[in-house]
Amino acid sequence: MSLDPKKIREDFPELAIKVHGKDLVYLDNAASTLKCAPVIKEINKHYSLEAANIHRGVHFLSEQGTRKFEETRLAVQKFINAKHDHEIIFTKGTTDSINLVADCLARGILQAGDEILISTMEHHSNIVPWQMACERVGAKVVEIPVNDSGEIKLDEYRKLLSDKTRLVACAHISNALGTINPIKKMIELAHAHGALFLVDAAQSAAHMKINVEALNCDFMAFSSHKMFGPTGVGVLYGKEEILNKLPPYQGGGDMIDVVSFEKTTYNTLPHKFEAGTPHIAGVIAFKAAIDYITGLGIDNIYNYEHELLTYATEKISAIEGVRIVGTAKDKSAVISFVMDGAHPHDIGTLLDRQGIAVRTGHHCTQPLMKRMGVPATARASFTIYNTKEEVDALVAAIIKTKDFL
């Protein structure tokens, strides 16, 4: 089965808008994808006809909301092939998921002298929480280096692993370069040293097949808003036996068993980590996004996006004075580039005037930008509703921008 981008585009109403009098060409998907019609419909339906708090309520609306909320948990479990539905924790997003693990590990498991390995290409959300955790207990963050193409140096990674390594945290796909990392091999190497492994799947969950059982990762984090779903909804997957060992992240409603002034006991998984009223409408609508992706076929999505990547790479590489940053052999549909004599912010502004939305800056990856020898890049990231015609429009706009500057 091949995807029909023309038909898919009809499911994304935002693509019909004009930007500065031009048709919108949205190429900022690595930051956040547009929202598909089924997701928008589900959110409207919830707030119009179904709004009520979930869990513990015995009235119709509460029970209905609880059922739909938990159906999303089951959908996520199936989507990533987790062993148990209670291994799926709903959070505010990837950042919140990583902070949850970092904070909980720092309270009793992570100790002075331990090391946490993270790669040069990590998003700040997969750097700073570990630094904060290590500062609390006297542990150390260790950098896994990358080569000039933006690929992890596996030989160096092997050397860095030791009995001191408590955890490795690594992006499945680099948000800044599109590099697809050899996560399965990295997990095997980490486990050989007794270390835990967290996969930042923010950039991979909507673009390639995820199977946590096959990967054998200990944790995985990703966000709904990069999967055509609502903002403010994320997932933390964790192995049951590990989650049971961690203390709660936050205190409040739903995460308790019995509360008294003498002692409070905590709820079972997954509620132990879901304190307070969640983003109910967002979680319910997230299922519509998962169903949408599943209906198209994740392998079909990957193949279509790879075709766009190949086409765009060839076209952009041919522009004199423009250089692609990040040339890994295994890449997702992300192209970061720089232009001679032009700051990426100026490039982004001029592209916007031509109706083209790209992301500019350091992409929350300042250590990586320093390693690649650039202060910032312009980044075009593609997904299922993008077309080769839009790639042509991007290329024409880059050339026009270069000539202007």
Task: Identify the helix (H) or strand (E) that includes residue 116.
Answer: strand 115-119
The percent of residues in the chain predicted with pLDDT above 70, rounded, is: 100
Residue-wise pLDDT for 164-183, tens only, equals 999 999 999 999 999 999 99
Q: What was the pLDDT predicted at 364?
A: 98
Q: How would you label 216-237 residue by residue, b for 16+ Cβ within 10 Å and e otherwise?
A: ebbbbbbbbbbbbbbebbbbbb
Query: How many Cα neighbours within 13 Å face the side chain of 292?
Result: 26
Whose tokens are 């549909």? That residue is 333
The C-alpha atoms of residue 292 and residue 38 are separated, in whole angstroms, by: 8
Q: Please report which confidence band the pLDDT of residue 314 belongs to, taking 50, 70 and 90 as the band edges.
A: very high
The C-alpha atoms of residue 264 and residue 275 are separated, in whole angstroms, by: 14
Between strands 22-23 and 377-381, the pairing is: unpaired
Whose tokens are 């041919």? That residue is 318
Q: Is the pLDDT of residue 2 over 80?
A: yes
Cβ(229)–Cβ(285) below 8 Å: yes
Cβ(260)–Cβ(250) below 8 Å: no
Q: What was the pLDDT predicted at 183?
A: 98
Instruction: Tell me the C-alpha to C-alpha distance, in Å, between residue 192 and each of 130, 246, 251.
Output: 22, 22, 35
Residue-wise pLDDT for 364-401, tens only, equals 999 999 999 999 999 999 999 999 999 999 999 999 99
Q: Is the pLDDT of residue 405 over 90?
A: no
Residue-wise pLDDT for 50-71, tens only, equals 999 999 899 999 999 999 999 9
The C-alpha atoms of residue 144 and residue 120 are separated, in whole angstroms, by: 6
Q: What was the pLDDT predicted at 56?
A: 85
Q: What was the pLDDT predicted at 108?
A: 84
Cβ(325)–Cβ(377) below 8 Å: yes
Residue ranges covered by each domain of the chain: 5-30+298-400, 40-295
Length of the chain measured in residues: 405
Q: What was the pLDDT predicted at 290?
A: 98
Cβ(340)–Cβ(314) below 8 Å: no
| Active site (annotated) includes residue 36 | no
Question: Taking all residues of the chain, what is their mean pLDDT, rounded to a whole number?
Answer: 97
The two three-digit tokens of residue 112, written as one number: 């002075």
**What CATH architecture does domain 5-30+298-400 belong to?**
Alpha-Beta Complex (3.90)
The C-alpha atoms of residue 393 and residue 210 are separated, in whole angstroms, by: 32
The C-alpha atoms of residue 310 and residue 332 are separated, in whole angstroms, by: 10
* Full-model pTM: 0.97
Sign (positive or negative) of CA dihedral 188, 190, 196, 200: negative
Q: Please report which confidence band the pLDDT of residue 1 belongs to, taking 50, 70 and 90 as the band edges.
A: low
Residue-wise pLDDT for 149-161, tens only, equals 999 999 999 999 9
- Same CATH topology for 5-30+298-400 and 40-295: the answer is no
- Give me the CATH topology for the region 40-295: Aspartate Aminotransferase; domain 2 (3.40.640)
Q: Is the pLDDT of residue 129 over 70?
A: yes
Q: What was the pLDDT predicted at 256?
A: 87
Average pLDDT rounded to a whole number, residues 190-217: 98
36, 104, 217, 364: the catalytic one is 364
Q: For 244-248, which contacts have Cβ atoms below 8 Å and span 24 or more sequence positions? A: 244/269, 245/109, 246/101, 246/104, 246/105, 246/109, 246/273, 247/104, 247/107, 247/108, 248/104, 248/272, 248/273, 248/275
